Structure 1
Amino acid sequence: MTETREVMSELTIAARAASDKGATGPVALEVTEQFGLADVFLIVSGAVERNVQAISDGIEDALNEHGTRTVRREGREGGRWVLLDFGDLIVHVFHQEDRDFYQLERLWSDCPTIDMPEIPEAPADLHSTPSSGVK
């Protein structure tokens, strides 16, 4: 693999930021040989448009705080597929329906996957919380 320590650090920061905002289904692909303009794609999903926007904002904020500049951002307003370009790392934040439709993992199936921190699956009902017992 050709990824550098810095892009792996950026990938970890992005994956954790995505997880903090409720992202699911993370996949990281090493795309250097096939793409040439970046080293790594991170693909994650959000449940609804607002979640996709929050995930993309969280990732961008975390990487910018780390000192990684956003080169380009596309699709945030629609909340269906947000592309965040950080140079060597490109992040795709999809609404789950659009991710199922476009199937980037299948399109880039010849690229090796990268082991990274797990992002847990979102609970089935995001609105149900245990009662605190306080009335």
Structure 2
Amino acid sequence: MQSPDSAREMLQIAADAAASKGGDDLLALDVSEPLPLVDVFLLVTGNSERNVAAIADEVEDRLIESGHKRVRREGRAEARWVLLDFGDLIVHVFHAEERVYYGLERLWKDCPVIPLDVAEPAAEG
């Protein structure tokens, strides 16, 4: 397993990438206590299938460019819930309806929230 600092670095890269593609309602959870092989979940909402796919692609591209290895990707074809597994960080990019339906926040409510410092994308004009 990588160091917690590495997981936090990956989290920041993923959060910035998600925000740059219009990801909403970003929530990072420290799941290291109940899940010994994972440190962090990042939950992100997209507003359409196209947006979910774009967010997931950007997160994946930036993490890979930063030298991190993707272990697994699921759900890209449907783009309703895309799971990106980078070992210590798992990114869940949801369509809004799926995020409410599956309610991962409720399932992991006892896990500490990790504060995120995400820059808002620059306004186009």
Tell me the matched-pair count.
122
Structure 1 stretch displaced more, 30-39 or 52-61: 30-39
Alpha-carbon offset, residue 106 of structure 1: 0.7
Q: Which residue of 2 aligns with 1:94?
A: 94
Change (3 A) 1:29 1:119: farther
Percent identity of paired positions between Structure 1 and Structure 2: 54
Q: Secondary structure at the match of 2:114?
A: coil
CA RMSD, aligned part only? 1.8
Deviations 1:37-72 (A, max 9, x none): 200000000000010000000000000000001000
Amino acid at match of 2:80: R
Letter aligned with residue 72 of structure 1 = R
Deviation at 1:118, TM superposition (A): 3.6
What residue ranges of structure 2 are gaps of 5+ in the alignment? none
Contact 1:26 1:118 in 2 (8 A): no
In the alignment, the residues of structure 1 paired with residue 30 and residue 6 of structure 2 have an alpha-carbon distance, to the nearest angstrom, of 14
What's the counterpart of residue 126 of structure 1? none
Partner of residue 19, structure 2: 19
Counterpart contact for 1:23–1:119, Cα < 8 Å = no
Q: In structure 1, what is the equivalent of residue 105 of structure 2?
A: 105
1:52 pairs with 2:52: yes
**Following superposition, which runs of at least 4 residues in structure 1 exceed 4 angstroms of deviation?**
none
The aligned residue for residue 38 of structure 2 is 38
Structure 1 or 2, whichever has the larger Rg, is 1
CA drift at 1:119 = 6.2
